[in-house]
A and B are shown apart, each in its own frame.
Chain A
Amino acid sequence: NAGVTQTPKFRVLKTGQSMTLLCAQDMNHEYMYWYRQDPGMGLRLIHYSVGEGTTAKGEVPDGYNVSRLKKQNFLLGLESAAPSQTSVYFCASSSPLDIREIYEQYFGPGTRLTVT
């Protein structure tokens, strides 16, 4: 049982390049989230999904797109990377057995992205 995994672990992009971050979970969770972590800022929600085929914007969605084609996977895309997107990206998942457990989120190890 791997939990939440993220691919890749590290990546360096040039400004304007595109890439996709992959998050996979094997816990059969309905809800999945993408956060970014910046020094002194804590974690901020980018996008989230409450089920296969559904996505919604979080606090800082600009410059990112997401897709949830399969229940176990949640992809985060950067169409044209900018230096402001240099960050550590965390994926999380949760299972809404009841309203409280939605918030009990399991996190992946993170992807460190640098945009030059």
Chain B
Amino acid sequence: AQSVTQPDIHITVSEGASLELRCNYSYGATPYLFWYVQSPGQGLQLLLKYFSGDTLVQGIKGFEAEFKRSQSSFNLRKPSVHWSDAAEYFCAVGPGGSQGNLIFGKGTKLSVKP
């Protein structure tokens, strides 16, 4: 069965520091890959997506993610974190097929120190 693992439940970084959130997936083929962000009390907002092609994808709010097939990973990065980036981040996999159901990781909560 497909699965998504986000190994870090909670990460704290200082404002201005770089950030990398890890995501590993288990799937036979190359899935569609997504990162969503959820601010406190809000719904989920799509940060970026990977379908095929260039393995480094750019998203909104200065985020990027790199797909590494050999490691089954899709890690999210940002060179300089802002206090407003404090939120929960979810990696998700779209396994293909016509249903469209996303499989989510359990999330990584990001705290930002001033």
A positions within 8 Å CB-CB of B: 4, 31, 33, 40-45, 48, 50, 56, 58-59, 90, 92, 94, 96, 99-100, 102-110
Contact = CB atoms under 8 A, between A and B. Distances in A.
Contact of B42 (A31, A99, A100, A109): A109
Given A45-B101, A90-B43, A105-B102, 5 more contacts: A42-B90, A42-B104, A42-B106, A58-B101, A103-B32
Contact of A50 (B90, B94, B99, B104): B99
A100 B51 CA distance: 7
A100 to B, nearest CB: 5
Contact of B100 (A40, A41, A43, A48): A48
B42 A104 contact: no
Contacts of A4: 43
26 contacts: A33-B101, A40-B9, A42-B4, A42-B104, A43-B90, A43-B102, A45-B101, A48-B99, A48-B101, A50-B100, A90-B44, A94-B100, A99-B98, A100-B32, A100-B51, A100-B94, A102-B99, A103-B49, A103-B94, A103-B102, A105-B102, A107-B36, A109-B42, A109-B43, A110-B42, A110-B43
B46 interface: yes
Given A42-B105, A43-B90, A100-B32, A33 B100 contact: yes
Contacts of B43: 4, 90, 107-110
Interface string B90-114: 1000101011111011110000000
Interface in B29-51: 32, 34, 36, 42-46, 49, 51
